[in-house]
Amino acid sequence: MAVVELTSEVVRAKAAEYDAEHALFAVEDEQVEGLPGAFSSGDFGWRDAAWVVRWYYRRYLGDYPEERRRAAEAAFGENDYEAVRSAIEGALDAPDDAGAVRRLTDLSGVDVPVAAAFLMFADPCAYVVVGEREWAVLREAGELDGRYPDPPSVDEYLTYLDACRAVADRTDCDLWSLYRALWRLYGEL
């Protein structure tokens, strides 16, 4: 395993590499700009919400088990649009991070990682998505203990989120940049 050092320079450089090379960056960046306003105003459609679920699994560019991806996307498709709208609004109005995650996991097809994706696209300044790749980089950098719990519980996500916020503060970067850097750094482990 490579030693990972999360400095301001490393985070900025790896996020820039992600921007230049990741196939989904342009659409992700567009959604990071547009979805927070749409989710907070309630001015979003079914496709916007379904996009977040599809993105979570498809960001692996085919490296995620197809059957699991299809099952999760189909399960999310069983939700009523009003239930999805209510869950997103409830998450944004939740008094704490745990409540925000729990509100979203009430939806079919939404586990803690997908809830974290919704939260990231609803408020990229406060939340970041979780997955095995991001967790592994933080563990190698000494920011987290233990292997990725698949899937993480709400408490495990909050531990991860706290670690991400601490790294973002220490490196003077935003969580969206940190996510992109972690994604890139995983390829170097």
What mean pLDDT value characterizes the chain? 96
Dist CA 22 CA 5 (whole Å): 22
122 lies in a domain? yes
With bands split at pLDDT 50, 70 and 90, how would you rate the model's confidence at 2? low
Sequential DSSP letters for the chain = -------HHHHHHHHHHHHHH-TTHHHHHHHHHHHHHHHHHT---HHHHHHHHHHHHHTTTT-S-HHHHHHHHHHHHTS-HHHHHHHHHHHHH-SSHHHHHHHHHTSTT--HHHHHHHHHHH-TTT-----HHHHHHHHHTTSS-S---SSPPHHHHHHHHHHHHHHHHHHT--HHHHHHHHHHHHTT-
Rg of the Cα atoms in the chain: 16
In this prediction, residue 142 carries a pLDDT of: 96
Domain range for 112: 8-186
Residues 29-69 pLDDT 10s = 999 999 999 999 999 999 999 999 999 999 988 888 899 99
3 lies in a domain? no
1 lies in a domain? no
What is the pTM (predicted TM-score) of this model?
0.96
Res 120 pLDDT > 60: yes
89 lies in a domain? yes
Total of domains in the chain: 1
134 lies in a domain? yes
State mean pLDDT over 124-133: 97
Closest to 59 measured CA to CA, from 145, 127, 131, 155: 131
36 lies in a domain? yes
Site of tokens 């939340």 = 127
Res 139 pLDDT > 60: yes
Q: Which two tokens stand for residue 129?
A: 């998505």
30 lies in a domain? yes
